[in-house]
Amino acid sequence: MEDILRPLYQERTSQQNTIGVIVVEKKENEPSFTENFDVILLIMVKEAETPVFIKHYIYDNKKAALYIVTESQLEEWMLLGNNRKFIEWLYHGKVLFDRNEYVYKVKQEMREFPFFGRKIKMAIEFSKLIRRWTYGRDFFRNGQYLDAYNHVMHSLHHLARLAVIENGFYPEVTVWLQVKQMEPEIYKLYEELLTSDEELEKRLELLFIAIDFLIHSKTENGAAHLLSILKEKESWAFQDLLNHPEVNYYAVDLSGLLEYLVGKSFVEEQKIETKGYGIYHRHYRLIKE
């Protein structure tokens, strides 16, 4: 197989721009792992006109997909976790070419999962968790149980991914297998949502109570990144936080996260006078222990 596909990548390995090549073969019992292709070739480059370039091939009645991905795109995927399939391929694939041990270092980083990366990824998952949980709770209170169910399902997924990251691992596509071993109580909630004989309203009511407890127990770690940013200044305007380069990764959920932290007395609002009588700027500051 490698001999047949070698012409697809061999010429690129002589180019300084190419920093790694990985091959991933289809698993007989899990063809969806490689999106039903027989083989995936990943070529990592320093720079390119487009961050991701994909080609499909046929050989010996088999299918192959070639991905050319820039280093910056790969770093973004690793941080944000928004292309878990590629990260799985990178982690499990066979290294065919590795310039200056680039691929080796990336794989080592994935195994060791540096704490700084964990803090940002936990903040991303935690902020998404708060948004889904808040929406779901509001739908439940308004009697819209199917919409509430949808948001509870997403809440549990974010809770599961947060738990895996908290334990020092990358959340994989098979995140529920990871969670079942690490934090079985979250897995049991997932089972309860899917298999319980209780009426939907009662099932959701019990789950909201349980999830609320788990969110509270994970707030300090889940919000650790934002709380550390808030320490940098006495008080922050919302736009100043949005402009912070690290907060930008979860900026879309920042407002809801701040509101939650104010409600839980991790953060307090501060009134700053404006030129208008009785109108104040709303700033935020960390409540110091």
Per-domain residue ranges for the chain? 2-111, 115-286
What is the pLDDT of the chain when averaged over all its residues?
Answer: 90
Q: Give residue 235's pLDDT.
A: 93
With vertex at residue 107, the alpha carbon angle to CA 102 and CA 113, rounded to the nearest 5 degrees, is: 120
CA distance 281 to 289: 25
Q: Give residue 113's pLDDT.
A: 64
Smallest CA-to-CA distance from 83 within 192, 177, 170 is with 170
Question: Tens digit of pLDDT for each residue in 9-56?
Answer: 888 898 999 999 999 998 877 778 888 899 999 999 999 999 999 999
With vertex at residue 191, the alpha carbon angle to CA 189 and CA 196, rounded to the nearest 5 degrees, is: 100
Question: Tens digit of pLDDT for each residue in 176-192?
Answer: 999 999 999 999 999 99
Question: Tens digit of pLDDT for each residue in 256-272?
Answer: 999 999 999 999 999 98
Q: Give residue 83's pLDDT.
A: 82
**Residue 1 vs residues 5, 63, 64: alpha-carbon distances, Å:** 6, 11, 11
**Residue 150 vs residues 43, 68, 157, 186: alpha-carbon distances, Å:** 37, 35, 11, 17
Q: Give residue 2's pLDDT.
A: 63
Q: Which CATH number is correct for 115-286, 1.20.120.330, 1.10.1660.10, 1.20.1250.20, 3.40.50.300?
A: 1.20.120.330
The 267-273 sheet, strands edge to edge: 236-237, 280-286, 267-273
Domain spanning 2-111 has what CATH number? 3.30.460.10
Counting as low any pLDDT under 70, the low residues of the chain are: 1-2, 113-116, 173, 289
With vertex at residue 137, the alpha carbon angle to CA 134 and CA 142, rounded to the nearest 5 degrees, is: 130
pTM of the model: 0.76
Query: Measured over all CA atoms, what is the biggest interatomic distance in the chain, rounded to whole angstroms?
Result: 77
